[in-house]
Amino acid sequence: MKQVVVLGATGSIGLSTLDVLKRHADRFSLHTITAYRSVDKMLELILAYEPVQAIMACPDAAEQLASRLPTESPTRILGGEQALVDAASDSDVDVVMAAIVGFAGLRPTLAAAEHGKRLLLANKEALVSAGRVFMEATRSGGATLLPIDSEHNAMFQCIPANNRGRPETAGVEKILLTASGGPFRGRPRSELLGVTPEQACAHPNWSMGRKISVDSATLLNKGLELAEACWLFDCTPGDIDVVVHPQSIIHSLVRYDDGSVLAQLGNPDMRTPIAYGLSWPERIDAGVAPLDLVSVAKLDFEAPDLEAFPCLRLAQEAITQPGGMCILNAANEIAVAAFLAGGLGFTGIDNVIAHALENVSADEPDNLEAVEALDGRARACAQERIEQLEHDTRGV
Ligand code: NAD
Ligand code: MG
């Protein structure tokens, strides 16, 4: 029996993970689930799954949850960020699903890496921000890092196992990172000025949390994924081409020196990569409907529009700048939160990121504290820029 921690259990990836685990109760046992402060959802999950522990990152929410838990429940309630780190490091635990959204997931995810867990990585912001620090923790801790992001999971499936750290020695000529193009694909920038959070979050193929949905709409998500692929497969941005594929059926491809191209296909359902991460190198049922190619009928491809969606270009540049992806990620988190709250326009997101990349100077952070300090400086810079833009639009 593998003991599993699901960080971010109440989210989109977290719930899909619980669904896959439920189908394989003979192999996996739920040790810990965590959430930020959604008490109602957490209570439902505790009653349905009876994990050993349930942790609310927000201590007040933990108190509320404890007061509502039936006395006969076997689940222990804990609160606070350290409890997340402790769960991810617990010697009883084998598998950690890192599915907290954003930089907030870095500490517990890193703890799982340092303690040699099978680490299922959905939380790309943690890897992209901490970069070398994260990869070094994975190596020294002896963790098994398995990508859950659908594109990276596809690449992982298409690159031979003995060459995953060094694709060039496997005869890999190019990695092709697919992008759906998001809900605004095909629109010129002038039409993006007034789009609303609801429109941005209405992804055509995937049902996801609001932050990653906005990232998909700006193509910033593809920029994070470019950096993610560079770390996971030890390559450079020049080794990777982004190709827009609106149907999200091909999850990425690998082109070899001999002209062969291997792709991984499947319905757009995150339970496929989650199940593969849980069972690798075996395969288990994920509850996903078989792919029906006749009903899909057509697979289209086009180049990304970097004029309308400059966030991808900003990321391509940031990858080459010391600490650039940490700055980009932090500025994006602040900008997306402001956009979702109605305090920043959609095209303001890339403006804020570009401003932070220009104005925050950095060396490549080489430890967690340096990563956190850089993240903090970039957030402050982004916040100032948002206030300035708001001030300008009000004309005062
Ligand atoms: P979500 O918003 O649906 O869920 C986020 C989870 O994180 C929730 O459980 C929430 O309680 C928790 N959380 C939020 N803030 C927290 C904090 N400060 N401290 C502790 N916990 C906190 O997000 P999601 O769509 O499930 O995405 C999760 C991660 O997976 C993101 O990094 C995203 O980029 C990545 N990802 C998601 C998908 C997808 O299909 N949803 C696909 C690929 C990668
Ligand atoms: Mg993805």
**Domains parsed from the chain with CATH numbers:** 2-146 (3.40.50.720), 154-296 (no CATH), 321-394 (1.10.1740.10)
Ligand 1 cavity residues, CB under 6 Å: 8-14, 35-36, 38, 57, 99-101, 104, 122-125, 149, 206, 208-209, 211-212, 270
Counting ligands in written order, the one closest to the CA of 273 is 1
**Tokens read off for 316:** 């391509």
172, burial (CB in 10 Å: exposed 0-12, middle 13-18, buried 19+) = buried
Question: CA 208, CA 201: separation in Å to the nearest integer?
Answer: 8
If one residue of 12, 214, 216, 270 were mutated to test the ligand 1 pocket, choosing by the most ligand atoms within 8 A of its CB, it would be 12
Question: CA 393, CA 396: separation in Å to the nearest integer?
Answer: 8
pLDDT value for 370: 98
Nearest-CA neighbor of 51 among 82, 10, 85, 11? 10
Distance 225 CA to ligand 2 centre (A): 7
If one residue of 100, 215, 267, 329 were mutated to test the ligand 1 pocket, choosing by the most ligand atoms within 8 A of its CB, it would be 100
**Tens of pLDDT, residues 139-173:** 999 999 999 999 999 999 999 876 666 676 789 99
Tokens 């770390």, residue located: 231
pLDDT value for 169: 75
The pairing of beta strand 144-147 with beta strand 53-56: unpaired
Size of the chain, expressed as the number of residues it contains:
396
pLDDT value for 4: 99
Residue nearest to atom 41 of ligand 1 (CA): 208
> 10 Å Cβ neighbour count for 50?
12
Question: CA 160, CA 82: separation in Å to the nearest integer?
Answer: 38
pLDDT value for 163: 66
Residues with CB under 5 A from ligand 2 (ion): 149-151
**Tens of pLDDT, residues 176-234:** 999 999 999 999 999 999 999 999 999 888 889 999 999 999 999 999 999 999 999 99
**pLDDT, one tens digit for every residue, the chain (396 residues):** 999 999 999 999 999 999 999 999 999 999 999 999 999 999 999 999 999 999 999 999 999 999 999 999 999 999 999 999 999 999 999 999 999 999 999 999 999 999 999 999 999 999 999 999 999 999 999 999 999 999 999 999 999 876 666 676 789 999 999 999 999 999 999 999 999 999 999 988 888 999 999 999 999 999 999 999 999 999 999 999 999 999 999 999 999 999 999 999 999 999 999 999 999 999 999 999 999 999 999 999 999 999 999 999 999 999 999 999 999 999 999 999 999 999 999 999 999 999 999 999 999 999 999 999 999 999 999 999 999 999 888 755
Distance 238 CA to ligand 2 centre (A): 19
Question: CA 282, CA 339: separation in Å to the nearest integer?
Answer: 42
Nearest-CA neighbor of 111 among 150, 190, 55, 69? 55
Distance 8 CA to ligand 1 centre (A): 6
